[in-house]
Amino acid sequence: MKAPTAKSSAARRQFLFDSARMACGVGLLGLGLGLYAKQARALPALALRPPGALAEDQFLGACIRCGLCVRDCPYDTLSLAKPEAPVATGTPYFTARQIPCEMCEDIPCVVACPTGALDHALADINQAKMGVAVLIDHETCLNFLGLRCDVCYRVCPVIDKAITLDHQPNLRTGRHAMFLPTVHSEHCTGCGKCEKACVLEQAAIRVLPPQLAKGELGSHYRIGWEEKNKAGHSLIDESEMLDLPDRMPEGVDLPGHYDPASGKTAPARDLPDGGVLAIPSKPPGLGDSP
């Protein structure tokens, strides 16, 4: 190997110095960008992605910000995020309260997407999951106040599946029913028509990203009545079930109480047949045991 001359050694040092400087400078820029990218992933709750959009962290790698989905949306629902918007710059989104998704059957926005950021596997718009509607404010919703507004229910494109009206007694008046709009997340596409149509100054029902709107059971949880329906019988031997004695103050008896030890129900007061039929006293799951 040739011994380095003073000149070549100086040149090499200069090269290393320049490279290190460049790597540090550009590395800092990259660090800033990376942190910014991390922030950009936090999509605000009310900004909804078009139908078929991949999960947010996937979406930001697949979407090339071309705006073809915006162009092919017939209802001007979608727009591309401007730099000052709290959505990653240039990506498509919509705000349900302004213009909701009309759920076109041919889903032109998905067809137009050149990258699959909007998943082309989505062929049925009813399978879209742009978000989940949540009746978020029970204090101002007119139906919760006992009125028959029903607007969110009426405008729902998946009426009677995604939103149903659940009847509850109105305990305030004691003589009326309340018709409570109830969202069923497996059918809700998150189109946002309910949020758009809500008659309040601020919508009581809002479309939120599924991960915000949904709880999740522990993976080991089994819902007894569903398992029973699936299996055709209860998964446990109900005759072996132990009902520990209720801790009642001494000398007190509980009218209508079912005692599994004797299999007898204590008579209820003031009722002609002892109240056995009138009071649902048996705990769920034991109703049909002998």
- Which residues of this chain interact with other proteins, rule CB under 8 A? 18, 22-23, 25-27, 29-30, 33-34, 36-38, 40-41, 57-58, 60-68, 70-72, 79-80, 82-85, 88-90, 112-117, 120
Residue 131 CA to chain centroid, in angstroms?
Answer: 6
**DSSP notation for the chain:** -PPPPHHHHHHHHHHHHHHHHHHHHHHHHHHHHHHHHHHHTS--TTEEPPTTBPPHHHHHHH-----HHHHH-TT---EEPPTTSSS-TT-EEEETTTS-----TT-HHHHH-SSSSB-TT---GGG--S-EEEE--TTT-TTTTT----HHHHH-TTBTTTEEEEEEEETTTSSEEEEEEEE-TTT-----HHHHH--SSS-SEEEE-HHHH-----TT---HHHHHHHHSS-SS-GGG---PPP-PPTT---TT-EETTTTEEPPPTT-TTTTTTTS--SPTT-TT--
